[in-house]
Amino acid sequence: MPRQDIFYEPPKGEKSGLPHDPFKSFVIPRPIGWISSTSKDGLDNLGPFSQFNNVSFDPPTIMFVGHQSVYKRRSKDSVVNARETGEFCWNMATYDTRDAVNASSLESWDDEFPISGVTKAPSRVVRPPRVAESPVTFECKTHSVIRIQGDSLVGHSDIVIGRVVAIHVKGEYITDAGLFDVLKAAPLARLGYHQYTAITHVFDLKMPFMPDDNVSGNILGGEKGDTDAILYQTRDHRSEDDRRAEERELNAKKSIKDRTQGNGEAAGEEFRTAHV
């Protein structure tokens, strides 16, 4: 028998009524921010963060969130290092490195590279080392750190935003078509509870864009779009009302065409059926 629908308001202290808090199992899958950093005293650090994503692509910018360390009663080492030295690296976590990623989550006072069993590789622009086993690494300069106060010690969060100043990609993960081989890399992602997943299949969906938008679709798909100069030269200076009217007219014509085409296909099918 299915359970009843659930509604609850966290600011009022209400809970889901389920045996485990489901919140983090809804925003899924989340890429892993496997962050390597170096303290101001020269001690290397490595740790995974499941609140991670890109912020912008022009220029490349990423973010990761470090929740307060209950063990050390302060911000996580990765946050402290990024704040104090202004540098860190993001390393792609993969299915093959899943055990090392999990091992590096230990809040040690020592270097987590040996603990997790991965190899250090020198960076080119920043001081912190890279994870040699990762197919992709971003070398980053800290842009800013935003502190979000929580309702509990572990709930306090630091949002670290970093500018990507250098990118490493292993050649074996580039296809003949010049694309990143996602299936070969099998990037790791966090779900809720103690669950993870890895990418095992991909499919394409192209976003719809307006006829005069010859930039967004290409850039968001990783392709090259027109320059800002060309974009502003070709700007449509008509009013929004005129452009909306044109859109309605085009949609109306498309609707009529689709209906006509549909009726023609139905009539053709009736003809073929009648003459079988």
Say how far apart CA 136 and CA 92 lie, in whole Å. Answer: 5
Give domain status of residue 23, yes or no: yes
- In residues, how long is the chain? 276
pLDDT value of position 171: 97
Number of domains in the chain: 1
Cis, bond preceding 128 (omega within 30 deg of 0): no
Give domain status of residue 242, yes or no: no
Span 170-182, mean pLDDT? 96
State what percent of residues in the chain have pLDDT above 90.
57
| Structural domain containing residue 180 | 10-198
Cβ proximity of 74 and 65 under 8 Å = no
CA atoms in the 13 A half-sphere facing the CB of 138? 23
Give domain status of residue 262, yes or no: no
Which distant-in-sequence residues (6+ apart) come within 8 Å of 161 by Cβ? 55, 61, 62, 63, 142, 143, 144, 145, 146
Using 50, 70 and 90 to split pLDDT, how confident is the model at 215?
Answer: low
CA atoms in the 13 A half-sphere facing the CB of 33? 24
pLDDT value of position 138: 98
Token couple for 157: 């969060």
Give domain status of residue 224, yes or no: no
- With a cut of 80, say whether residue 271 has pLDDT above it: no
Cβ proximity of 219 and 225 under 8 Å = yes
Tell me which of 204 and 41 has the higher pLDDT.
Answer: 41
Give domain status of residue 270, yes or no: no
Cβ neighbours around 135 below 10 Å, total: 24
- With a cut of 80, say whether residue 206 has pLDDT above it: no
Tell me which of 82 and 222 has the higher pLDDT.
Answer: 82
Say how far apart CA 234 and CA 241 lie, in whole Å. Answer: 19
Tell me which of 267 and 112 has the higher pLDDT.
Answer: 112
Give domain status of residue 233, yes or no: no
Give domain status of residue 173, yes or no: yes
pLDDT value of position 253: 85
- With a cut of 50, say whether residue 190 has pLDDT above it: yes
Span 163-178, mean pLDDT? 96
Instruction: Give the range among 221-225, 230-234, 243-247 with minimum mean pLDDT.
Output: 221-225
Q: Which of 9, 145, 25 is nearest to 75 (CA)?
A: 145
Tell me, what CATH number does 51's domain have?
A: 2.30.110.10
Q: pLDDT for 117-166, tens place per residue? A: 999 999 999 999 999 999 999 999 999 999 999 887 778 899 999 999 99
CA atoms in the 13 A half-sphere facing the CB of 46? 25
Q: Return mean pLDDT, the chain.
A: 88
pLDDT value of position 222: 63
Token couple for 276: 């079988």
Give domain status of residue 235, yes or no: no
Q: Is 156 exposed, middle or buried (0-12, 13-18, 19+ CB in 10 A)?
A: middle
Span 214-243, mean pLDDT? 70
Q: Which of 45, 55, 51 is nearest to 32 (CA)?
A: 51
Instruction: Please state the pTM of the whole predicted model.
Output: 0.80
Q: pLDDT for 42-96, tens place per residue? A: 999 999 999 999 999 989 999 999 998 878 888 999 999 999 999 999 999 999 9
Using 50, 70 and 90 to split pLDDT, how confident is the model at 216?
Answer: low
